[in-house]
Chains A and B, each alone.
Chain A
Amino acid sequence: MGVAKYTKDAKGQITDVTLQSGIHVKSFYGPEDLERIGFSYEKDLADPGAYPFTRAIHREGYRSRAWTTRQYTGFGTSRETNERFKLMIAHGQTGLNVAFDLPTQMGYDSDDPRAEGEVGRVGMAVDSLRDFETAFRDIDLAKIGSGLTINAVASIMLAMYQAVAEKYGYDARVISATPQNDILKEMIGRGAWIFPVEPAVKLIGDTIEYSMTTMPRTNPVSICGYHIRESGATPAQEIAYAILIANAYIDNVLPRGYDIDEFVGRFSFNFNVFGNIWEQVAKFRAARKLWAKNLKEKYGVKKESNMFMRGLFGGGGYGLTKAQPENNIMRGAYYALSAALAGAQTIALCSYDEAYTIPTPHSAVISLRTLQLLMDEVGLRDTVDPLAGSYFIETLTKEMEEKIEGEMEEIRKVGGIIPAVATGYIQRLVSRQAYDFEKGIQSGELLKVGVNIHTEGESKDVELHEYTGETAERQIEELKRVRRERNQRETARTLKDFEQATRAGKNVMPYLVECCKAYATVGEMTNVFREVFGEFKEPGLF
């Protein structure tokens, strides 16, 4: 989805285009449009690298540094994941983005009854430090940064990352992890939440505080408009909710006595790229500007580089189709183009087979090549913000900005982002929209190639990533060995210290690092949180 609505007359001429965020596109734009929106180069754009950073956060853009390519990778055991990491690095990938299996994301050990059938299926299974030792073996953690796509137990994974790095001789100050660590978006979409809103947000505050003092190259939180959009939000809502969520995390850290300039510069974002190309470009430009304005005007951030909206723009999973799967390769190319035209720092693409399966090595490399082709072959690094000054793009960017501000206002009206998530207001809104979009696709009001236009009848299955029960068996065997061989007294001691710290409301991170080093399991650590915090109660759908 994400296509605009087109109205045509009897001759087939387009008479109206309505973008997903509700903006109408005219047949052409001119100087009078810039006049109408009160366009000012200094106020609305400024040069690349200058406030409000609409054009780019760095003056030289991709000339100084191409975007980081970071395909989402991980499946089976840590051994298989390590092999795939090395394959992607050998093919020129410059950062890792670790996928975890569902038991790990939900804090269950691989031999927990709730993990049955899920071990190693949608990502790598992690039970203890032993798995990280294998996954990151022979990878230069001082050079390669790692995205850790995990949220409810991101604190545990970040602690484990520090533990593995130190075990391999790296100083915590040189490593760079980017845990996703955005629990409010999990409650809106994606659903990998465990604990209630308040302690869940407090844990994020802990990781931000700890990173600031101990792992300064870590980006402790990656706020994901991405999944909110996948769940049915419009591009304007995607940005609006992400900024409000980021503010909720800031508001958790500030009362701990820090200056905002000490930590906000490490926040990063993850946004989606499917849909109308112009709307995406305008969305990212408006988002950069609004984030900078929000930090400067609302929070009084002083240092300009702390106002950068850095992020991973990519994915586009919901835009992909099962029908005519090879078309997804082309879709990916256009999605990446819009991210690159909008100045993304990091880009990842869903692979063309992802509507069916975990990407095969072949399809993962095609995604990487798509990004490299844009970077090295067709000119996306030539000049910064190449669409700037277009009557259309500047008007649209301004209109997107207004739409985003309007969506933020709607949330303020219901009491702010935390009540809007806790009561299910946003969840109900986006699921209703998702239903309307599906109806639009099914009625043909919204066009989708291969689905409701240019169709070919039955589509064939693509090559599938094979999952076997052996993965779980091997993982459980290894887990049992770790449990048997570790220093039991040390594990018990670190878990007890961690529990006391959790109950006392202390920052849990240093205690988690000790637990990880003592080979406490993910399940054991999460159970402490479950006991102390309880679980999130999902609001009703209707």
Chain B
Amino acid sequence: MAKTIRVLIAKPGLDGHDRGAKVVAHALMAAGMEVIYTGLHQTVEQIVAVALQEDVDVIGLSIMSGAHIPITEKLVRKAGEAGIGDKTIVVGGVIPGRDIPRLRELGVRGVFPGGTPFAEIVRVIRENVRRD
């Protein structure tokens, strides 16, 4: 039997709009993954610490405030410093199309703007974790 994929759903920064994060958490669980949800108002340092401690395969950031680029840059840097730069990072939220290339450049494996089908999110996560 394949190993169960462990996903950390994280709400970095000060924004508290968590409908999307919670909905995706439910969808990933329905797809057979284990989900750890950080809760709101997490610093990047806190998220990296939880990812390390919980030994997750995936870090999913949910960002609605528009600050997705600075937050993701910081997360990638801090994850690298903590020696978990190999985790699959995905980002969802209010993400304008023009910002997707920059997020990809940072190493983000999946960018999921509002309205992305659950099946697409599950597929991207499975493909990346398997490849790892």
Contact = CB atoms under 8 A, between A and B. Distances in A.
17 contacts: A117-B13, A118-B13, A121-B66, A122-B15, A189-B18, A191-B15, A192-B16, A322-B114, A358-B66, A431-B26, A435-B27, A438-B23, A438-B118, A439-B118, A461-B96, A464-B98, A541-B22
Given A102-B15, A106-B14, A438-B27, 16 more contacts: A102-B65, A114-B43, A115-B14, A117-B70, A186-B16, A189-B17, A189-B18, A191-B16, A230-B19, A431-B19, A431-B22, A432-B26, A434-B19, A438-B23, A538-B40, A541-B25
A108 B14 contact: yes
B41 interface: yes
Interface of A: 102-103, 105-106, 108, 114-118, 121-122, 186, 189-193, 230-232, 318, 321-323, 355-358, 431-432, 434-435, 438-439, 442, 451, 460-461, 464, 467, 538, 540-542
Interface in B86-115: 94, 96-98, 113-115
Contact of A102 (B14, B26, B115, B119): B14
A542 B26 CA distance: 9
B103 to A, nearest CB: 15
Kindly name the residue among B22, B67, B113 whose own CB sees the greatest number of chain A CB atoms within 10 A: B22
Given A434-B19, A467-B66, A191 B13 contact: no
Contacts of A540: 37
B84 interface: no
A322 B70 contact: no
A322 B65 contact: no
A370 to B, nearest CB: 22
A538 B39 contact: yes
A356 B98 CA distance: 11
Interface of A is mostly: loop
B22 A434 contact: yes
B92 to A, nearest CB: 12
Interface string B14-48: 11111100110111000000000101110100000
A116 B14 CA distance: 10
Given A193-B16, A323-B115, A467-B66, A434 B96 contact: no
Nearest to B97: A461
A25 B98 CA distance: 43
B117 to A, nearest CB: 5
A322 B25 contact: no
Nearest to B69: A117
B52 interface: no
Contacts of A435: 22-23, 26-27
Interface centre among B16, B67, B96, B119 (most CB of A within 10 A): B16
A431 B16 contact: no
